[in-house]
Structure 1
Amino acid sequence: MAGLVLLLAAAIVLQIGTGGLAAYVALLCAGLVWLVASADRPTSTTVLNRAIESVPAGLCVFAPDLRVIASNQRYASIYGLTRADIKPGTRLRQIIEARKAKRGISERVIDAFDGFDGMATSVHELRDGRFISVSRHPMTGGGLIEVHRDVTSERLAEMRANETMQELIEKQYAIDQAVIVAITDVKGIINYVNDNFCTISGYSREELIGQNHRILKSGVHSKQLFRDMYRSLAGGHVWRGELCNRAKSGKLYWVDTVITPQLGPDGKPVAYMAIRVDITARKEAEAKLSFAAAHDSLTGLLNRCALFDQAGIGSEPDVQPDRLSVHLIDLDGFKRINDTFGHDVGDRLLEAVASRLRSLATDRDLVARLGGDEFAMIRRVGDGAAGAAVDLGRRIVDAMAAPFDIEGHQIDISASVGIVLCPEHGSNSADLLKKADLALYDVKAAGRRGHRLYQPAMLEAIKGEKVLEAELRRAISAQEFELHYQPILDVESRTVHTAEALVRWRHPVDGLVAPDRFIALAERTGLIQPLSEWIIQRACLDAASWPPHVQLAVNVSATQFKRGNLFDVVLQALLRSGLNPRRLQIEVTETVLLEQQSEQLQTFRRLKSIGATLVLDDFGTGFSSASYLTNFPFDKIKIDKSFIQGLPRRDCAAVIASAVVLAKGLGISVTAEGIETEPQLDHVRSMGIDFAQGYLFGRPVPYRQLKCATVFPDGPGRVLQTATAGAN
C-alpha cells in the first residue's frame, strides 16, 4: 500500500508541476477509487489522508452524489475555509457557497475547456486578484476529483506576454510600411538606393552610389553565410534571410532581406535587387524575451535552467563535462527580514546580494538565483579544485557577513554555502544539487554561517537520519517515551520550587535515548507536534499528584507555536489532569519569537489569562533577548548554563549581573541553569538569583523517583527532608 501511495503522490506532483494531466489522471483516479473503497479500514483512511495531504495543491475527492469523501488542508487554505467547511459528507454546492462567503471572496470563471474522457479544467478569478485553476476528473464508478492550484503567477505572466506580443505586432505593422530598396551589379557595387535606405543607414545617396555593399558589413555573420547567399543568387535563385548591417554612425540594425537576381538574355544574373524591412525593434524585443527566459526578473542573474544549460552540465551525456565547482548559497534568516521590514526591503536586499555575488565572480563564472533566497555560483576550476572551491565558499560567506544598507536600514544577514565538484560528485544537475544541498544542510545543522564541501559521509548521515525518523514515528505510535524531572530550587530556602519535565526515549534496543539524539529531527520532520502534545498532557497528569507548592515547567518548541493550537493543547491538558494553571510554567526559547511575533504575543496573552507562568529559556544567548522582555509578558528568565559554567570570569559575571538587574527592574524572577558546585550557587545567590537548577541538586529522574518535597542542606547541620512524587 505504501508503494501505491508514493506512486499516487508522484503522479499528482508530476501532473500538477508540469500541467500534463493526461499522462497521470488514469493512475490517479484508479488509485483513489481503490483507496476510497478501502476507506472504512483505519489504516486505509490514514494512507488516503497522508496521500492527499502530500499533494502540493488543493485536492478534494467527491462521491457520486457530490459529497466530500476526503480533502487536504491546502484545498481549505486556498479559499480561507476551515476543516469543518470541507468535512466528509459536505456537498459541493455548500463548499462553493462557503467559498463565496469567506472573506468576501467571489469567483468569476474566466477560462474553461473540456478535456479527455469528461475531464474539465477552468480558471477562476477571485475578488482578491488571485487566479485558481480547477481541474475536475471523473472517477470510474462515479464521483470526481478536484485539483485546485493557485496559478496567479502563471496567469499574470501570460497576460504580460500577450501584452508584449501585441506591442510587437503593432510595431511590426508600422515597420512593414517602410520598405528599404537597393540595386547592385553582380560585383556588389551599389547603383540605386531609396530614401528609406539612406535614412536607416545614415549615408547620403551620393555616399552610397558607386560603393560596394560591404560598406554596410557588420561583422556579425559568418563567411559561410555569404558564400551560401552568392551561390544561390548565381544560380538564379531568390535568397531570403535576416542580416545585420552597420550604419554610418556605427550602430547595428537588422533587416529582413529578399534579394532577387535580374537575369540577362543568357539566363545569368546581371544585377541584384534587395528589398529590406527594418526588423531591429523585433530583434531587440526577441533579445529581451530571450534574456527574460534565461534570467531572474528581480536580480538579473541567470535562472536555474539557464545556469546548468550554460555550464554544459548534463546537456550531452556522452561528453565529459568540464571540471566545475558548484556553490549552493542560502541566506540565513531572510524570512525574518521580510517579516520585519517588508517585502520591498527584502527585494532590495536580494538585489544587493546578487550584486555582491557578481563582484566575486570572474568573466567565466556563472551566477544564478534559483528562487526565493537561494543562489548558486558555478566556476570552472583546474588543479587543486577542492581547495579553490572551499576558498570561494569562504569568500562568499565573508561577503554576505558585511552589513547591507537597504533604504536606510542596516541589515545584518549571513549565508550558508554547500559546495560540490563536477564531475567528482556528479555529472548532472540533479545529482550536483542534491549533494550541494546535503553539504548546505550540514552547515545549517552546525549553526549556519559557514561553508562545507560535500563528503560521501553526508549522504550516509542522511540515510541514517531517515532510518531514525522512521523509528521515531514508530516510537510515537508505540508510546516509547517517558518523562524525567529535574528539580529547580528556591536558593534561599533550598527547597524544591519547580520540576522541569524532560523527555526520554526508551528505545527497545538502544535503551534510554537522550533528547539531543531526536528532538532536532522531530522538529525538522514535524513529529515534534504529537510528541509535544503528549509531553504536556503526561506532565500535567504527573504534576497533579505533587505537593501543591511544587510547580511544573514544560518546554515548548517553535514548531508548536507556529501551528497555532498551543493554547488549546495546554487547556485540554489542564482540564484533563485537574492541575491548577498557576502551577504550570511554559518555557520557550528565543527561536519561538523570531517569526510571527504578533501571533505569538496573542498566544502568550491567552496563556497568561488562565494563570500560566511564561519563562524565557537560555537567556543571553540571542541577539535580542533584552528586547523580548519588554515586548512579551514574561514572568521569569533562565540564564543559560554557559554563563554559569564561565564563572568566575568577569565577562560571564557581568552578563549575569546585568540580566538580574534588568529582570528585577521589570519585576521578573531569575533562574540560573547548570549549577554544579556550591561556589557557583553562592556566587549567583550573591547576585540576586531567585532559583537554581543543576546537577548539584540532582539529575533528571523518572516520575516515581522525584523527591519533590526535598530540602537540600547547605551544611552538615541541616536536615534533609524528602517526599516522593506521589505523596500528598
Structure 2
Amino acid sequence: MLLPEEKERALRFKLALRMGLPIFLLFLIVSISFFSIEQETIPSYYFVIVISVFVVMIYYIFYLIYQGYEERITDPITHTFSREYLINYFKKKIDNGPYTILLISVHNLTDINSRYGVKKGDKVLYEVGQWIGAFLKEKEIERFPIGHYKGSDFLIGLEGTKERYQNMLDLMCLKFQNRTIDEIEINLTAAIVDTNYSQDLEQLTTRLFDLLDEKMLDRQAFEEEEIDPTELESSVIQAIQRQSFSLMYQTVYEKDTPSMLEASIKLINDEGKIIHQNKYMPVIDRLGLTRTYDEIILEKVVQACESVPHRLILALTLSPSSVRNNSFFERTLTLLNNNETARGRIMFVLSENEYYHHPKRYNELLQAYRRLGVFIAIDNLGAFKSTMALLKDLKVDVVRFDNQYGKHIKEREYQNIVKGLHIIAQGFGMRSWIRMVEDETEYKNVKSLGIDFIQGNYLGKIGSLEEVDKML
C-alpha cells in the first residue's frame, strides 16, 4: 500500500471514530442511567455488549465514509460528472440506440497553468464546463451528461447521430473564439463521433482524440472516409505479423546531386489495399507495437541498401521511444554487423513533440548510433508542437524543417523563418533539410536560402527503387 493510501485510510478511521464517539457516549449514558434506576448493580455481560456495539458502530460509520468516496459521481474541480461515472453512463446509453459523443478540449490549458497558476487553470475548467452547459441549454438540449474526462478534456453525450449536432458544435467553437475568463484567452477545440463508427466506447474515445490531433494538424478530419476500428485494428495486426509493407522512396538532393532516399512506408491488408500511416500509426501506438514495427521497418531498409542505386543514404522515420530503447539499439547493432553495405548509409529521422527530460542519456545513445555509422536527423523543426531546446543538448547531423515551411516558402515571412532556422542549425554544426518543394519558383527560393538538402515532387516523385533509379 502506498503512503497516500495509508494516510487516507488512517484519516478516514479517525473521522469514523470522531463521528461514532458522541453516539457511543450517548448510548453509554442512557444505558448506565437505565441500569442505575432499575438495578443496583450492572451485570458483567453488559460491558461485552457495550464494546461490541462500539466496534460495530465504528465499522459501520467507517464503511459509510468509504462508500461515500467510492460512489462520488462529480469531479471536484469542474462540478461535472467524474470520469468513472461518465464511462458507465455512456456504456448504458450506447447499447440503447444511436448516440453521439462530443469532445471539448481547452487546448491551451498547459500554458494557462504555467503562466497564471494551477488555481486559475482550475477556474478556467469550471467556467468552460458551465459555459458549455449554458450554451446547450440555449439550444434546448436538457439533462445531458457532461464530464471531466482528463486534463483539459470534457466529454458530452447526446441522443441521436452526429449529423444532428455537427453545425451546433461548429457554432459553439465559433462563439467561444473571442471569450476570455479573468482576461485569460481560451483556445477551445472539439471533435465529434457517433455509434455509427463503433459500438465500443474505448474505440469511440480513441477516435475522438485522433480527430482532435488531426484537426490541430490542419487535416480535414471530418471529411475522411471512416474505417471500422475493429477491422482496422485486425488489419494492422495481421499486416505486421505477415510483415506486409509497401516501401516507396523519394530522392533528396544536396545542391543538384542526389544524396538520400527517404523511405515512405504503408501497410497492406489482406485484400491488397494500402493503409496509410495516419490511420495505422495510432493503432500501433495504442497496441504497444511501436518498437516491433520500427524493428521490422529498419530490417527491411537495411536489406534494401544492397539494391539502392549510387550508394545513396536511406532515411527512415522512427519513434524516438524505440531509438531510446536498449533492445532496439542491440537490434540495430546486429543488423549493421550482418550487413556491411548498410554502414554509413542509414539515417534515423526523429520527431520530438516535447522536451525529453533526460537529454544526457538520450545524447549518449544517439552518439552510440552515430559510431555505428547511423546518421541522425531531428524532424519538424519550427512546428507548432516541436521543441528547439533539444538542439543544445543533442549532437545530430541534420535538422528538417516542418512541412509548412516548404508549402509556404514563396511567402516572405516563411522565408525569413527558414533563413533564421538554417543559421541556428549551422551554429550547432548541423545541416538543414526542407521538403514539399513543388515547383521551380519554390526551388529557387530554397536554394537562395542556402538549405543543404532539398526534397519535393519538383525534383522527383515517390516511387519504388526501380522507378527512382530510372529518374536519377
TM-score by length of 2: 0.68
Instruction: Tell me the SS of whatever aligns to 1:621.
Output: coil
Residues 108-507 of structure 1: pairs in structure 2 closer than 5 A: 125=1, 129=2, 157-173=8-24, 290=68, 293-295=71-73, 298-299=76-77, 301=79, 302-304=81-83, 327-329=102-104, 349-350=121-122, 352-358=124-130, 360-362=132-134, 368-370=147-149, 374-376=153-155, 386=165, 390=169, 394=173, 398=177, 415-418=189-192, 437=205, 440-441=208-209, 443-444=211-212, 446-448=214-216, 461=226, 463=228, 465-491=229-255, 494-505=256-267
Matches of 2:303 and 2:167 in 1, distance apart?
58
**Structure 2: distance between partners of 1:538 and 1:606:** 21
The structure whose RCO (Cα within 8 Å, separation 6+) is larger is: 2
Query: Displacement, 1:392?
Result: 8.0
Per-residue CA shift, 1:306-353, capped at 9, x if unaligned?
A: 6699x99969x9xx99xx99655456598x889x97xxx778745642
Q: Is the 8 A contact 2:83 2:147 kept in 1?
A: yes
Is the CA contact (8 Å cut-off) linking 1:639 and 1:673 kept in structure 2?
yes
Whether the 8 Å contact between 1:303 and 1:370 is mirrored in structure 2 is yes
Say if 1:390 and 1:419, in contact at 8 Å, map to a contact too: no
- Name 1:633's counterpart in structure 2: 395
Q: Distance in 2 between matches of 1:524 and 1:158?
A: 35
Measure, in 2, the Cα distance between the counterparts of 1:403 and 1:496.
54
Secondary structure of 2:316's aligned partner: strand
Distance 2:86 2:462 in 1: 53
Deviation at 1:608, TM superposition (A): 3.8
Determine if contact 1:485/1:700 at 8 Å carries over to the other structure.
yes
Name the counterpart of 1:583.
345
TM-superposed deviation, 1:431: 7.0
Cα distance, 1:688 vs structure 2: 0.8
Look up the equivalent residue of 1:299 and give its one-letter code.
Answer: I
Contact 1:552 1:584 in 2 (8 A): yes
Preserved contact between residue 78 and residue 129 of structure 2 (Cα < 8 Å): no
Change in 2 beyond 3 A, CA 1:647/1:510:
same
Distance 1:380 1:521, change over 3 A: closer
Aligned match of 2:318: 556
Aligned-pair CA distance for 1:496: 1.8
How much does 1:172 deviate? 2.9
SS of the residue corresponding to residue 701 of structure 1 reads: coil
* Cα pair distance change 1:586/1:434, threshold 3 Å: closer
Aligned length: 426
Quickly say closer, same or farther: Cα 1:329–1:516, change in 2 above 3 A.
closer
Distance 1:632 1:474, change over 3 A: same
Tell me how far apart the structure 1 counterparts of residues 327 and 175 of structure 2 sit (CA, whole Å): 40
Q: Deviations over 1:151-180 (max 9, x none)?
A: x85x6654443232122112434566899x
**Identity between Structure 1 and Structure 2 (%):** 15
Is contact 1:327–1:436 with CA below 8 Å preserved after alignment? no
SS in 1 for 2:215: coil
Does the 8 Å contact 1:543/1:579 carry over to 2? Answer: yes
CA RMSD of aligned residues (A): 5.2
Q: CA deviation at 1:696?
A: 2.9
CA deviation string 1:566-622 (max 9, x = no partner): 42332232222124654332111233x456554655543443454532212233322
- Is the strand fraction higher in 1 or 2? 1
Secondary structure at the aligned position of 2:253 is classed as: strand
Structure 1 residues 471 and 164: CA distance shift in structure 2, 3 A: same
Q: In structure 2, which of residues 396, 416, 419 is the aligned counterpart of residue 657 of structure 1? A: 419
2:207 and 2:290 mapped to 1: Cα distance?
24
Q: How big is each residue's C-alpha offset from its partner over 1:169-222, in whole Å with a ceiling of 9 and x where there is no partner? A: 12434566899xxxxxxxxxxxxxxxxxxxxxxxxxxxxxxxxxxxxxxxxxxx
Normalized against structure 1, the TM-score is what? 0.47
Contact 1:360 / 1:396 at 8 angstroms: preserved in 2?
A: no
Q: Which amino acid aligns with 1:447?
A: K
Instruction: Work out whether residues 236 and 267 of structure 2, in 8 Å CA contact, stay in contact via their aligned partners in 1.
Output: no
CA distance in structure 2 between the aligned counterparts of 1:687 and 1:388, rounded to whole angstroms: 44
Contact 1:403 1:413 in 2 (8 A): no
Shift of the 374–396 alpha-carbon distance from structure 1 to 2, 3 Å rule, reads farther
Q: How far, CA to CA, are the matches of 1:289 and 1:486 in structure 2? A: 61
Whether the aligned pair in 1 keeps the contact of 2:268 and 2:275 (CA below 8 Å) is yes
Change (3 A) 1:507 1:160: same
Structure-2 residue corresponding to 1:667: 429
Aligned 8 A contact 1:327 1:393 in 2: no
2:439 alignment partner in structure 1: 677
